[in-house]
């Protein structure tokens, strides 16, 4: 008999009562899930779980919905034995695209990672392909922008080459005595028709045009009003 009593006492000493464990009612589960959704909607979700103080908010919500309940944020809601909380958390987090599906809830609830004093839940994330996709997308956009920039530079260089070649050809043409003489006659005739100019201004304008092939080429392509505007600008020194 003494041996049996000794064995019983030994077994009794081996048994440990987990004070954090309790049975949840259906009503408590519904309120908890609703409360979790509410705290997430109100911005209490953070990158590594929840912001500090969320357990207090959950506890207050539970007490307001179920007066007299003995549920506490810690240890009941946060309890590693609370399968209800684990399932509810999974359901809530599935509502948000920014939370990877690979969150290791088992590790968090088994306390394999630190919870700290701020009531935040640490989550272990498996590598996500979203970061790689974003990086690839940025590289692709950057490459496209660089290609566009290069195309613009090439176009500008080509335009500069074309303009330079055109001006060179024009200078060569004007250098021919007959062409130069004809050009001078055309310019002088156009200047004489500008009644707003004095004889002296007409001569000065002619000299300015003949001494600058670019202005001369532009003068030939403008209409009467444009020619007068160009001449006035040259005379004013613009």
What does the alpha-carbon distance between residue 45 and residue 36 come to, in Å, rounded to a whole number? 10
The angle, 0 to 180 degrees and rounded to 10, between the axes of the packed helices 199-210 and 213-221 is 110
Residues 138, 66 contacting (CB under 8 angstroms): no
Q: Which two tokens stand for residue 172?
A: 């060569």
Q: Which helix (H) or strand (E) holds 50?
A: strand 49-50
Place of tokens 């979700």: 45
In the chain, domain spans: 2-126, 131-236
Q: Which two tokens stand for residue 57?
A: 């908010």
DSSP conformational letter for 222: S
How many Å separate Cα 72 from the centre of its chain?
41
Give the end-to-end CA distance of the chain in Å, rounded to a whole number.
123
DSSP conformational letter for 24: P
Residue-wise pLDDT tens for the chain (238 aa)?
Answer: 555 555 555 555 555 555 656 677 888 878 888 877 887 787 777 666 667 777 788 788 888 888 888 877 776 776 644 555 666 666 655 554 444 444 444 444 443 333 444 444 444 444 555 555 556 666 665 655 555 556 555 655 555 555 555 565 655 555 555 566 777 888 888 999 998 889 899 899 888 988 888 888 888 888 988 889 999 999 888 7
pTM of the complete model beyond 0.85: no
Beta bridge pairs of residue 46: 49
């Amino acid at each position: 008999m003494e041996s049996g009593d000794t064995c019983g006492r030994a077994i009794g000493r081996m048994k440990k009562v987990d004070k954090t464990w309790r049975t949840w009612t259906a009503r408590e589960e519904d309120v908890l899930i609703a409360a979790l959704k509410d705290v997430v909607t109100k911005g209490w979700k953070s990158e590594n779980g929840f912001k500090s103080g969320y357990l207090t908010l959950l506890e207050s919500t539970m007490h307001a919905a179920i007066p007299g309940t003995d549920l506490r944020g810690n240890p009941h809601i946060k309890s590693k034995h609370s399968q209800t909380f684990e399932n509810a958390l999974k359901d809530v987090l599935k509502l948000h695209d920014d939370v990877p599906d690979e969150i290791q809830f088992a590790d968090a609830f088994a306390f394999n990672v630190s919870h700290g004093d701020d009531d935040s839940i640490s989550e272990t994330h498996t590598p996500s392909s979203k970061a790689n996709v974003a990086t690839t997308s940025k590289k692709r956009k950057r490459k496209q922008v660089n290609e566009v920039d290069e195309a613009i530079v090439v176009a500008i260089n080509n335009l500069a080459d074309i303009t330079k070649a055109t001006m060179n050809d024009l200078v060569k043409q004007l250098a021919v005595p007959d062409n130069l003489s004809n050009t001078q006659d055309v310019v002088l005739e156009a200047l004489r028709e500008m009644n707003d100019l004095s004889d002296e201004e007409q001569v000065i304008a002619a000299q300015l045009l003949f001494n600058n092939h670019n202005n001369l080429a532009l003068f030939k392509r403008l209409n009467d009003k444009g020619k007068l505007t160009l001449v006035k600008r040259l005379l004013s020194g613009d």
